[in-house]
Amino acid sequence: MATIPTTAMTSSGEFQSTHEAEGNSVPLVRVIVADSQAIFRAGLRKIFAVEDDIRVVGQAETLPQTISAAKKFSADILIMEAALSPNPADTVSELLRHTPSLRLVVVTARPQEELTLELIRRGAYGVVSRDVDPETFVDCLRKVWQGEPWLDSRGIQWVLGAYRTQGSRPSSSRSKIQLTPKESLIVSCVTQGMKNKEIAVRVGTTEQVVKNYLRKVYDKLGVADRLELALYCLHNRLPEADKDAVPAQSNPTNSAALDVPSASEQTSVKLS
């Protein structure tokens, strides 16, 4: 059985991490757990310990420690308690400025529509409530690691409702929007779930150039991130003309897909 990396925090607030040999070739989802409640952090570690592909590489219990851990540890996902910050949406933006490759899953005390929408707009990949059941939490992390945004069924309805409201606005200005062939190709890649590195290979450029193109596309379409872009494309059928531009087998993941847990998956088991 694979050994589990351990982490500890010294009395001065510094982080120490020990990484032992994994003993297998399973791709690892490296996770930082930032939560004010020790029992919740311990509960997550216990849940992840039985998973061969998820490892906790860092921990934090305050906002400054969270920012420090995000910068210090090489991680794929940061699980952050919303209550660590007086303004969690601003914190998401700050963290992503410093560590743009880190994917954030925010844990809220209870489902909140306004907070959920703002977190997604700011770039959070997933939002879960504190009473999420363990199996759903693990599924969330795996989906986020694969590049898919994750919300529960209520959160999906909130996002779709917000987008329908946006879509009901006069479309005269939107109808004049035109993307260049390369912008259209990149949008098509995004809707197929391709990461920036994969898009760069497909288009024949660099990741930074892809990011620059995406910023231009966001500005043109009035969206803030990949999720809003995917929803925009669904609503306006934007990439249909280019859907054959990228071979389907290049990446089967669809970034527009938001997983709705089944009835059995939505059974709540408190972690704290």
6-150 shares its CATH topology with 172-250: no
Global confidence as pTM: 0.57
If DSSP codes are grouped into helix, strand and coil, which group holds residue 192? coil
User: Per-residue pLDDT tens for 121-178?
Assistant: 888 999 999 989 999 999 999 999 998 889 988 888 888 887 777 655 555 444 457 8
- End-to-end CA distance of the chain: give it in Å, rounded: 27
Of the ranges 31-45, 149-163, 240-254, the best mean pLDDT one: 31-45
Domain-wise residue ranges, the chain: 6-150, 172-250
Looking at 3.20.20.70, 3.40.50.300, 3.40.50.1010, 1.10.10.10, the CATH number of the domain 172-250 comes to: 1.10.10.10
Q: What angle do CA 124, 126, 128 make, to 5 degrees?
A: 125
Residue 103 or residue 152, greater confidence: 103
Tell me how far CA of residue 39 lies from CA of 33, 85, 178, 272, in angstroms. 12, 19, 52, 6
If DSSP codes are grouped into helix, strand and coil, which group holds residue 123? coil
Q: Are 200 and 207 in contact (CB under 8 A)?
A: yes
Within 13 Å of residue 46, how many CA atoms lie on the same side as its CB? 9
The per-residue pLDDT for 189 is 85
CATH of span 6-150: 3.40.50.2300
* Portion of the chain with pLDDT greater than 90, in percent: 36
Tell me the H-state helices in the chain: 38-49, 63-72, 88-98, 113-122, 134-145, 153-167, 172-175, 181-191, 196-203, 207-221, 226-236
Residue of 193, 114, 123, 190 whose CA lies nearest to 155:
114
Query: β-strand 29-34 against 77-81: which pairing, if any?
Result: parallel
Work out the burial of residue 5: count CB atoms within 10 Å of its CB; fewer than 13 is exposed, 13-18 middle, 19 or more buried.
middle
What's the DSSP call for residue 166? H
Residue 195 has pLDDT above 70, yes or no: yes
User: Per-residue pLDDT tens for 69-92?
Assistant: 999 999 999 999 999 999 999 999
